[in-house]
A and B are shown apart, each in its own frame.
Chain A
Amino acid sequence: MHIQELILRLQRFWADRGCLIGQPYDLEKGAGTMNPLTFFGALGPRPWNVAYVEPSRRPADGRYGENPFRVYKHLQMQVILKPSPARVQDLYIESLEAMGVDLRKHDLRFEEDNWEAPTLGAWGVGWQVMLDGMEISQFTYFQQVGGMDCRPVSAEITYGIERICMFLTGIDNIFDLTWGEVKTDDGVFPVSYRTVRQREEFELSAYSFEHADLELHWRMFEAFEQEGWRLLKDFGHFLSAYEQALKMSHTFNVLDARGAVSTTERPGIIKRVRDLTCACARAYVQNDEREQAMPDAAKGEGVTA
């Protein structure tokens, strides 16, 4: 099983079950939940099914491309189902079978793991899904996003692509995974995860642990914050303002990886990000309600039931 084959299978599976196939959002972020397809998609009453791959950056997890299990950046496959269907666990199990897991021979468990994203004002309850003792997915029923109750509730499924791929292939080192195969006139060349990503891991780890200019990052944090509030307050633009909040969040993660944020400062910094994301969520919902209230003709291409 190759990385790209796994992604393609999951995308095909969820497209066949009535999901839009989204794309990663082109800003640094710590988790697929931060993609606006999820953050805003989970708000308001519209039905919304979407699946996409999201590269997720965790500066503190960087290991210079030397640790076989931990990386600065990994791939998440994110699925949002709103409202959460009654068969959601069964659907998930079918997706494992689509990946080639024969559950007659494996041990599958759903163990409590409640999820909370303080910078997004979001929390939910759910499980980490364990296959033969390894966590392969997070499964969450969103209760709140952007500080607002989710009505209806979305189910979020997050697959750790590299982990699942390692598990399925029995490969002990993430960099030994095969990303895919390149076919040329001269033959077929398998390309490893190492080739695609190791240098990136090295440089990004070095950046977060050594080279990042902390003073600059503190200034950027402030600047993104001001920019975000300006966009939201002066223009009511919740999407561009939300981008600023995402940048704040990543900037904070870089500072945090360097140990530049003290435990006492931490909650305050997180709150500053949360204040902006929650304000964006409120603006989105207000805008959404206005649009819903408009006559059909003016709605343009809306979601149809």
Chain B
Amino acid sequence: MSETRSLLLEIHCEEIPARFLAPLSNEFADGFLAFVKDQLQVQLDVERFFSPRKLAWRIQGLPVAQADQTETQVGPPQRMCVDAQGQPVQTGLKFAEKWGVPFDQVRFEQPAGKKEPCAVVTLVRKGRPTLELLAEALPRLIASLHVPKAMRWGSSEFQFVRPIRNLLCLFGRDVVPFTLDSVTAGGATWGHRLFHMDHPAPVAVPGPEAYEAVLEAAGVVVSCPERRARLARQVTELAAAAGGRVVSDEHLLDTLAEIVETPTIIAGAFPESFLTLPKEVLVTSLAEHQKAFCVENAEGELLPAFLTAANRPDDPDGFLKSGNEWVLRARLYDARFFFDEDRKQPLIERSEKLKHLTFQRELGSYYDKTQRIAALSGALASSLGLDGTDGRLVAQACKCDLVTLMVGEFPELQGIMGGEYLRREQAHPKVWMAVKEHYQPLSADGPIPASDLGGILAIADKLDTVAGCFAIGQIPTGSKDPLALRRAGQGITRILFERGWNLNPLAIAALALEGIGDKATRPAKETLEALEGFFRDRVAHQLEQAGYPGPVRRSALAAGWTDLVDLKARCEALSAFADDPRFQSLAQSAKRIGNILKDEAPGPALDAGRLQEPEEKVLAGLLEGLETVGDQDRLLNSLAELAGPLEAFFNAVMVKCEEPALRAARLALLRRLQGAFLRVADFSLWQ
């Protein structure tokens, strides 16, 4: 193996927005690897580093030069190049001249596809030094990065995510010579601002391997996972020191790791009087405004303490603690102002204001929506045989918090605030809980509403959104789903599925569509067709989320999906047989049955007396049991036991025989068997 070296590239910028760091890091790495594969014919890995002011990559094992490339050029026939004595004539000399070689390097060979020997030269193209290739490619790769919110700065037309202030680029110990928008790459970089207060010059990086250590000494932990790990450790320790445990927020931890270079956690306190605010308000306000964690005791009650990150190793004069506490007090003061103001008026009195809050241009205001939700949730409750007494009240109240100050400030508290305000207005627990829960589930693994009324309200709200948007042609396509309808549809499906509520998604969607009425801009039939495909996909996804194996999902879904309770029972039962070899055999047989029946018109009912062979008589004998057994597990056991007889049947019996009556009987037998299978699954998809 030829000599290799490591490459280190660091783009040092003014502070890059956290959300762009990982995407830019990955995009460059992919582009660079493609370049390496294309130009140097090696497959390598990239180490990625980033911090608020740095994007850096290290690649080990790059050859110092491209391999030499040889190529063969074929010229005119030998007889035209040399005379009888073998001396070159004009054509031969010209050929050598064309490729820049002396004539004695021209050989005469008969190449494949030629009828006679021809002039041939072999040219060696010297591989270029990698350093040169890098100097050309790197500025191009950097400049072509896709920057979502690109900016210009100064007088230049160059665009990047934030102004580039330094480039560090080493190939082994050599600086890769290139310039990007007037910044020339060199062998030094900048550490933490605090470090440079005492060290005014950039720090030299002796080689790619020294990168992390040089930066660590200059106050920068350049690996993001390392920063995250250090922050997580300190969070745990300091929460314990504050007498509790952290209210976990993985997303916040990710963010903090991306916005500091020296990862340090600062602990602070806020006045206990703010603990009268709802927990959600405190947690959200701290996380949103101050990027701070809350601390709770073993009972889940908040302590008047918080933890947040700082971008320096210590707090020598306590300024960081007192500063963060100061700001937090101001924020909590605001939150309490919103909370007190909001409570001056009963929540439900805001429903008039909802008339001026547009839900969707064609679908009217949020007031209109709550009217529709009220009707729909009433209908859902009665079809489930649940108590819908408070359904109307809950539906009318559930959107009122959208016009409160608190939700204006923290949109993610929608529902939660409505519930909290109602609770403090002494509303029935059923009522405030339903309002509080009705946006759930907020994520694929987030909780679903725990109360019946909350579940009904959640379904009615989401269903109104989905059916309404479909009715005005706002249908998600491909990656485009701006109104998050798939998430809403998934929520509906998941609640039905997990609660075991026997409601046909299509039937209730049709009900919701009636509520939309003449606001619809497309025919109801088209909308319902689109909704059918939509909900089938949601149900398929739900089965996947629930963890059923592929064969179970595919075959169960194909045998009917609108009765979710039945579907769930079939999936549960089928899962027990997921690895059963008899089902493999059953799948083969089911496929054969499908193929045989594919082109056959429905024939007469089975006349078992016409059957001749013992193998088919056995099957006919088993049929009745299969068709009448009610219990899914027993049915599946019977089906599993059918695998052997079916194999025997196909080995022994020719279904499409000459004799019409026998043939009809056999086809009828298979049709009956297929019907029995489809009670639980389409086994032809069991693979």
Contact = CB atoms under 8 A, between A and B. Distances in A.
Interface stretch (A100-108, A193-201, A236-244, A285-293): A100-108
Interface in A110-149: 110-112, 114, 124-125, 127, 131-134, 141, 143
A77 to B, nearest CB: 20
B333 A170 contact: no
A86 interface: yes
Contact of A69 (B14, B308, B322, B334): B334
Contacts of B44: none
A105 B154 contact: no
Contacts of A108: 193, 311
A134 B323 CA distance: 7
Interface string B1-37: 0000000000000110111000000000000000000
Interface string B41-57: 00000000000100000
Contact of B259 (A93, A111, A155): A111
B333 A262 contact: no
A166 B154 CA distance: 33
Interface stretch (B112-120, B145-153, B528-536, B590-598): B145-153
B356 interface: yes
A133 B320 contact: yes
A114 B19 CA distance: 13
A268 B228 CA distance: 45
Contact of A109 (B149, B152, B311): B311
A70 B338 CA distance: 13
A132 B320 contact: yes
A110 B290 contact: no
Contact of A84 (B52, B154, B357, B358): B154
Contacts of A67: 333, 337
Given A105-B319, A107-B311, A114-B149, A134 B155 contact: no
B326 interface: yes
B440 interface: no
A104 B194 CA distance: 6
Contacts of B18: 112
Contacts of A25: none
A110 B15 contact: yes
A302 interface: no
The residue among B14, B165, B290, B328 with the most chain A CB atoms within 10 A of its own CB is: B14
Contact of B327 (A70, A89, A127, A133): A133
Nearest to B355: A262
Given A105-B316, A167-B323, A110 B14 contact: yes
B493 interface: no
Given A107-B310, A133-B308, A167 B194 contact: no
B487 interface: no
A70 B312 contact: no
B154 A153 contact: yes
A201 to B, nearest CB: 15
Contacts of B194: 103-104
A202 B31 CA distance: 60
Contact of A153 (B152, B165, B319, B358): B152
A152 B333 contact: no
A131 B327 CA distance: 10
A69 B331 CA distance: 9
Interface residues of B, number: 44
A104 B312 CA distance: 10
B contact patch SS: mixed
A172 B329 contact: yes
B333 A85 contact: no
Interface string B573-584: 000000000000
A83 interface: yes
Given A106-B320, A125-B151, A134-B326, A263 B358 contact: yes
Given A67-B337, A103-B194, A132 B357 contact: no
A152 B19 CA distance: 27
A304 interface: no
Given A70-B334, A141-B151, A263-B358, A89 B319 contact: no
Interface in B284-335: 290, 308, 310-312, 315-317, 319-320, 322-324, 326-330, 333-334
Q: Which of A68, A111, A133, A166 has the most CB of B within 10 A?
A: A133
Contacts of B329: 172
Interface in B346-373: 356-358
Contacts, number: 109
A110 B197 CA distance: 17
Interface in B392-435: none
Contacts of B358: 263-264
Contacts of B259: 109, 111
A74 to B, nearest CB: 13
A203 B19 CA distance: 43
Given A67-B333, A132-B320, A134-B323, A112 B17 contact: yes
A106 B151 contact: no
Contacts of A63: 337
A84 B165 CA distance: 13
Q: Tell which of B153, B259, B358 has the most Cβ of chain A within 10 Å.
A: B153
Contacts of A106: 319-320, 323
A263 B357 contact: yes
Interface in B197-241: 197
Contacts of A110: 14-15, 52
A153 B333 contact: no
Contacts of A141: 151-153, 163
A133 B13 CA distance: 22
Contacts of B290: 133
Interface in B135-167: 149, 151-155, 162-163, 165
Interface in B497-542: none
A152 B197 contact: no
Given A133-B324, A263-B357, A83 B330 contact: no
20 contacts: A68-B330, A69-B330, A70-B334, A85-B154, A86-B154, A86-B165, A103-B193, A103-B194, A108-B193, A109-B15, A109-B311, A125-B149, A132-B319, A132-B323, A133-B290, A133-B308, A133-B328, A153-B154, A166-B326, A264-B356
Interface of B: 14-15, 17-19, 52, 149, 151-155, 162-163, 165, 193-194, 197, 259-260, 290, 308, 310-312, 315-317, 319-320, 322-324, 326-330, 333-334, 337, 356-358
Q: Which 9 A-B pairs have the closest CB atoms?
A: A132-B323, A112-B17, A133-B324, A110-B15, A152-B155, A69-B330, A134-B327, A107-B310, A83-B155
Interface of A: 63, 67-70, 83-86, 89, 93, 103-112, 114, 124-125, 127, 131-134, 141, 143, 150-153, 155, 166-167, 170, 172, 262-264
Given A109-B311, A150-B152, A152-B155, 14 more contacts: A86-B163, A104-B197, A105-B319, A106-B319, A106-B323, A109-B259, A110-B14, A112-B18, A132-B320, A132-B322, A133-B324, A133-B328, A134-B326, A143-B152
